Amino acid sequence: MLNLIEKYGEKILCASVLVAVLIVGIISRIQPDILTANALVASSSNEISDFYIKPSIVTIDIGQSYTFYSYGIVSTGEVHLVSDWNIESGENFIEQGACQYLNNSCTIKAKKTGNVVLEAEYNGKTDTTYITITNDVVDSSVNSSGDNNPVSSSDPKFYVEPSETTISLSMYYDFVSYAEYSTGAVQIESVWSLDKPDLAELHDCNGSACRVYAGVESGDVVLTAKAKVGDQYKESSSIISIAGRLKNPFSDEIPDWAEEEIIQLYSRDIISGYNDGRYGASDPVTRGQFVLLVQRLLKYMNLYDSDALDNENCNIFDDVKSDHYAYQAICYANKFGWLDIVPSDSRNFRPDEPSTRGVTSYTILSSILDDLLEELSMDESVIKSYGYEFIDVPANHKYALSIGAVNFYEIMTGQGDGTKFEPDKTLNRAEAAVVLWRIKNALK
């Protein structure tokens, strides 16, 4: 433990927090920084020279939510920082539990008129923002989140914050759109777009906030927000420079052919490493792990119905207890028929056994591709024909249909010279990352 702290101590915001988290076994990967994923590392050569909250002063109305962000200045410019947030005064005027400990933002919801002082702290540096809550609105329109946007007779300014920034390859940054009235700035629902979607990706951009993930190539991207502000339609843009180089977040080597997929899935919290910091690219992926990875991918793509999970009726398998890491994912998968179960052993899922390529294809077809193929109205015999391309997949093969489906979508193709699928071969963790990234692209 002491060696681990010594090794990473310069890059961890609070060593005591790390020790506590490691003891309870919550951390599944070692993060090199307690900056947001898009921020630059504050090292001895890149010290934080200034720390502040945006905005520094604002007026909001009862019932309205507002998000504040913490920033720092380093030699290369402004970066987004994960901070410790605290309501210094006026706690009774806002909804409780609005700000999370160690986050890059803090969202509050106004409850009654009054003044609130919000403080953020990062590595000994602090800043405060002053919030006035009022119910004095000239007129209002309601956005999709239910927040009130004051309408002024003057021409309100519409803008995106930040107006320009740099994102490292495969990392992300959160943007917010605002309308500024005489009473102050408010977040406003917008329609977001990128001029170069091949260089970056929008995620959860359905309101006033938008997260942008950088791809694996450098370049400049323009993020545009469009919104109805008062009686006018306006747009504003942010210039994003994607730069740097891909950085392996794990302590062990990852293969070049899977590097981009592993790093991008890691930045999206879809895959993680072991508690000791390794990824283990050549280790076999287990049946339980792959089901969990599919669940995480569907959550990221907003295709996961969390309301469908019934924890009270999840005791289906004798070998999947409630404390198993993939318990909920397996429960959800079983409810929707994703799992490959041996009829003679229906009380066991065997979650810790390696997932073969055949089993993996079955999970992919039943969880994702069934719906896509149904939209194409493809006959089952046609789908199977894509599996017959392989000399080791005969017409009566158990996984002929699922192998044909994953080959059709080029999610899993032939091995070696391409003539064999090798359905009984174990899938390793690097291969699983490539497969997941291809599934994501198929869903897009």
Backbone φ and ψ of 285, nearest 5° = -85, 135
Residue 290: inside a domain: yes
* Sign (positive or negative) of CA dihedral 396, 397, 402, 408: negative
Residues 191 and 222 in one domain: yes
State the pLDDT at residue 110.
84
Residues 187 and 94 in one domain: no
Residue 42: inside a domain: no
Residues 176 and 99 in one domain: no
Residues 309 and 420 in one domain: yes
Residue 120: inside a domain: yes
- Looking from the CA of 269 toward its CB, the CA atoms found within 13 Å total 10
State the pLDDT at residue 67.
84
Domain total in the chain:
3
Residue 156: inside a domain: yes
Residue 145: inside a domain: no
Residues 436 and 339 in one domain: yes
Residues 126 and 185 in one domain: no
Which of these three, 104, 136, 168, is where a domain ends? 136
Query: What is the length of the chain?
Result: 444
Residues 288 and 419 in one domain: yes
Residues 226 and 185 in one domain: yes
* C-alpha span between 49 and 61 (Å, rounded): 34
Residues 217 and 297 in one domain: no
State the pLDDT at residue 5.
40
Residue 79: inside a domain: yes
Mean pLDDT by 10 residues, the chain (444 residues): 43 41 38 35 55 83 82 79 83 70 78 83 87 56 42 73 93 93 87 94 89 94 92 92 92 96 94 94 96 94 81 78 90 86 79 95 90 78 89 92 93 94 96 96 84
State the pLDDT at residue 80.
78
Residues 304 and 387 in one domain: yes
Residue 147: inside a domain: no
Residue 5: inside a domain: no
Residues 124 and 163 in one domain: no
- Cα separations in angstroms, 267 against 215, 240, 413: 11, 18, 26
Cβ atoms of 170 and 213 within 8 Å: the answer is yes
For residue 222, the domain's CATH number is 2.60.40.10
State the pLDDT at residue 96.
57
Which of these three, 183, 213, 245, is where a domain ends? 245
Domain that residue 384 falls in: 256-443
State the pLDDT at residue 132.
79
State the pLDDT at residue 280.
96
Which of these three, 136, 160, 194, is where a domain ends? 136
Residues 95 and 180 in one domain: no
